[in-house]
Structure 1
Amino acid sequence: MELTSTSFLVTLIAATALAMLLALLLWNRLPGPGAVRWGVRVLMLGLCQLTAICVVAAWINGSYGLYASWDDLLGTGDGRGSSAMTGPPVGRAKFTQGANGTRSTYFRGSHSKLAGQVIVWTPPEYDAPGAQKTRFPVLTLLHGYPGSPGSWFDLGSMPDSLEQLVQLGAAHPFILVVPEIYPGGVNTDCSDTPRRKVATWLARDVPELVAKNFRTLPEPKGWGLMGVSTGAFCAVKLPLQYPEVFRAGAALDPDPLTGDPEVLADAGLRERNSPVWLLGHAKGADVGLFLATSAQDKDSPPQQLAAFARAARGTGVRVKTLVRPSGGHNFQTWSGMYPDALGWLSTELAAPAAPS
């Protein structure tokens, strides 16, 4: 049972109600000496409190996206090898049907040699009559840290939010691609390091996988990214680093755009993989970036967005910023940014089209 699933929360609520009911029914019916009866009563009270605390903790975790899986909570991800997942042979993938019309695979990239989960969702328009030759734009969704691809569906209201905007004519019907951003359990801020080529995984292996198995528009005019928190940092970084693959990126509450010393200790490597450095070396790149935050978010202050937009002047990189008056560093705030972000992405990326 997934940590963030509704069924898990409902199970905890039922367990709490059952513990309270049993305590009420058995309080005066317990056999044995008085000391034993009082000991059992204390245990019953403790069980009631424990289950109630678990309900509150699960609700808070679901609301704020603190931990998206049991591995995140327990710290059981194995980061010692090139990947914690054995996966299929290099370059081979088998998609299996999942919830909400998604298809999922564990895939090992031929370029990075990393393996991880990739979830793909195709819009209803993809299978509509007469659309057999239509190719669709691709939007890669990048989760935060800690997090997992499933957080976009469990916490992030996808794909429902996108479908509502498509029905209103406010967004393209994108193919959604949701890969792991730290395959093997080690966060590198979506960067290639000597031991782990995560940027290559996201910018070469995953796009090749999707283009091979789905009707996608050509890169880069039909390919963009949207990320939250650490994933938002990556959504700014990757189009600047790979403009031949991604034309646009939407970043919702991005981590500091100069990089995180706790993630990449090597100062030179960190600088060369920071959006600020990449922006200064992106003259002439046909790239658009959307950066959003809230005035209350101390993890992603509005000042860094304004400074980044100023630095972009004269580079040719198109930058748009949005600062909402309130909101925390969570999916409740990020989902409120979807209309602006997805609407903007739909102006930067090509609409579905059949080959001419």
Structure 2
Amino acid sequence: MSLTGNAFFILLVVVTVVAVVATLLLWNQVRGPRAVRLVTRLVLIGVCQLTAIAVVATWINNANGLYTSWADLFGEQQGAGPVAAGAAQTVFTRGEGATQETTFRGRWSGVTGQAIVWTPPQYQDPKYAHDSFPVMMLLHGVPGGPLSWIRGGQVLTALGRMMTSGEVSPAIVVIPSIDAGGRDTDCSDTPRQKNATWLMRDVHDLVTSRFRALNGPHDWSVIGFSTGGLCAVKLAMQYPQELGSAVGLSPDDFHGDRSALPDPKLRQLNSPLWLAKKRPPVSLFVATSSKDRFSTVPNVKDLEKVVQWPTVLSTPMILNDGGHNWGTWRGLFQVVFPWASDHLEAPHPLRPIAKPKPGPTSLASSGRIRTPLHR
């Protein structure tokens, strides 16, 4: 039975109700010495509390995508191998588009993580049969997982509606784990964990090799919230050959998280405030709330002070109200996704792109020009 399935959640609710009813019925039926009666009643109370806690924990997990499977919960990722042509499996489809999910071990990073890929309604439309699509990469917070965008954010429903109405141009959406391998590094490469490589090479290759995806820097935009918001801004500044724009919703401290990157030098090298000195040619947009105690207004203003052309930072959006939660972030979708769409190329037949000079941030350093599979 799936950890995140409705069947398991309903089962827990039923077990909780049964436990409460059983406690009421058995409370005065307990026999034996006083110590035995006391212990038995404590056990009955404990069972009620445990089942109630399990219901609440499962609801929180399903809403935020903290753990996506039993193996994920217990730290086991058996059977995950290098990404292959048949890695992705369809898990469900919606009227707004089709969604596929896979867990794989990255060929370049060596770490294992989950990636969910959604194709827009237009993807199967005969009018777009020969077109390739731009890509939006969505990054979740920590703790959390890719499913938090779908269950907590209801993002696929929102994007399907906006792409159908024309508010947002059709785009493929990929939602990867940002802490692949179970280790949060603020989406950075460390000696022990190459999460930046996982996102920018392994996930990138998965999408461009299996879907009709465009692969130029103005064909990919990254959007994240909380830790994912920090990651979005950071990755765009580190990988301008692959990402042309980024959105940070309630981003974590741009100086970095000591618990994620204990090495001060590594933390500095991965800070957007330090990366701004390189003046990468990317467009950025950040939004937060004046009442968000996790993502402060001074943090956003610090970025505004250091950004210089050709890096472009749109005027930050500071809400008067709103917390560090989906109620706030969903309210920003009508601004965020049209902004990202405006910074992406429209779907069109795939054209060869000029290969950037080989370097540590180049996905084309192997000399390959990707030709997505025709779907």
**TM-score, L = length of structure 2:** 0.82
Cα distance change of structure 1 residues 263 and 23 upon mapping to structure 2, 3 Å threshold: closer
> Paired residue for 2:296?
301
Output the CA distance in 1 between the equivalents of 2:188 and 2:42: 52
Q: What whole-Å deviation, never above 9, does each CA across 1:166-216 have from its counterpart, x for those lacking one?
A: 233221222111112122111111111223222122112211221111111
| Aligned mate of 1:213, from 192, 195, 210 | 210
Which residue number corresponds to residue 228 of structure 1? 225
Q: Does 1:112 align with 2:109?
A: yes
Determine the structure 1 residue equivalent to 2:44: 44
Q: How does 1:339-354 map to 2 (within 5 A)?
A: 339-354=334-349
Q: 1:334 aligns with which of 312, 322, 329?
A: 329
Q: Quote the offset at 1:305 in angstroms.
A: 1.1
Q: Which structure 2 segments of 5+ residues have no match? A: 352-375
Residues of 2 paired with 1:109 and 1:60: CA distance? 29
SS in 1 for 2:155: coil
Who is 2:358 aligned against? Answer: none
8 Å CA contact retained: 1:235, 1:249: yes
Question: Partners in 2 of 1:328 and 1:5 — Cα distance?
Answer: 28
Is the Cα contact below 8 Å between 1:224 and 1:248 reproduced in 2? yes
Corresponding residue to 2:75 among 74, 77, 84: 77
Where does 1:193-272 land on structure 2 (aligned, <5 Å)? 193-272=190-269
2:286 maps to 1:291 = yes
CA gap 1:121/1:234 in 2 versus in 1, 3 angstroms: same
Deviation at 1:99, TM superposition (A): 2.4
Q: TM-score, normalised by structure 1?
A: 0.86
Q: Residue type matched to 2:17 in 1?
A: A
Paired residues of 1:107 and 1:116 also in contact (CA < 8 A): yes
Q: For the structure 1 residues 256 and 172, does the alpha-carbon distance in structure 2 shift closer, same or farther, using more than 3 Å as the test?
A: same
* Counterparts of residues 149-228 of structure 1 (less than 5 Å): 149-228=146-225
In structure 2, relative to structure 1, the CA distance for the partners of 1:231 and 1:218 (3 Å cut) is same
Could you say what secondary structure the match of 1:130 adopts?
helix
Contact between 1:289 and 1:320, CA under 8 Å: does it hold in 2?
no
1:140 Cα deviation after fit: 0.8
Superposed CA deviations along residues 50-70 of structure 1, whole A, max 9, x for unmatched, are 43344445445656x494457
- The structural deviation recorded for 1:6 is 4.6
Deviation at 1:25, TM superposition (A): 4.3
Deviation for aligned residue 1:129: 2.1
Cα distance in 2 between the residues matched to 1:268 and 1:161: 40
Residue 319 (structure 1) aligned with residue 314 (structure 2): yes
d(CA) in 2 for partners of 1:242, 1:110? 19
Q: Which residue of 2 aligns with 1:98?
A: 91
Gaps of 5+ in 1: 79-83
Alpha-carbon separation, structure 2, partners of 1:9 and 1:329:
26
Paired residue total: 346
Q: 8 Å contact 1:72–1:146 — kept in the other structure?
A: no
Question: Retained in 1: the 8 A contact 2:134–2:213?
Answer: yes
Tell me the CA shift for residue 312 of structure 1.
Answer: 1.6
Distance 1:85 1:172, change over 3 A: farther
Give the distance between the partners of 2:50 and 2:325, measured in 1 at CA: 26
Name the amino acid aligned to 1:97. Answer: T
CA drift of 1:41 comes to 4.7
CA distance in 1, matches of 2:324, 2:13: 26
Specify which of 123, 134, 141 is matched with residue 120 of structure 2: 123
Distance 1:269 1:343, change over 3 A: same
Offset from partner CA, 1:297-345 (integer Å, 9 cap, x none): 1110122112212322444323342122222222232222222111110
Q: Does the 8 A contact of 1:279 with 1:315 survive in 2? A: no
Q: Distance in 1 between matches of 2:190 and 2:47?
A: 47
> Matches of 1:72 and 1:147 in 2, distance apart?
15
CA distance in 2, matches of 1:3, 1:331: 22
SS in 2 for 1:291: strand
**CA distance change for structure 1 residues 260 and 341 in 2, over 3 Å: closer, same or farther?**
same
Paired AA for residue 88 in structure 1: G
Q: Greater CA deviation, 217-226 or 16-25?
A: 16-25
Could you tell me whether the CA contact under 8 Å between 2:135 and 2:213 is conserved in 1?
yes
Q: Once the 2 structures are TM-superposed, how far is the Cα of residue 135 of structure 1 from its aligned partner?
A: 1.1
Identity %: 40
Task: Please report how far the alpha carbon of residue 247 of structure 1 lies from its aligned counterpart in structure 2 after TM superposition.
Answer: 0.6
Matched, 1:88 2:81: yes
Name the amino acid aligned to 2:48. Answer: C
Match of 1:277 in 2: 274
Report SS of the residue matched to 2:224. strand
- Asked if 2 retains the 8 angstrom alpha-carbon contact of 1:91 and 1:109, the reply is no
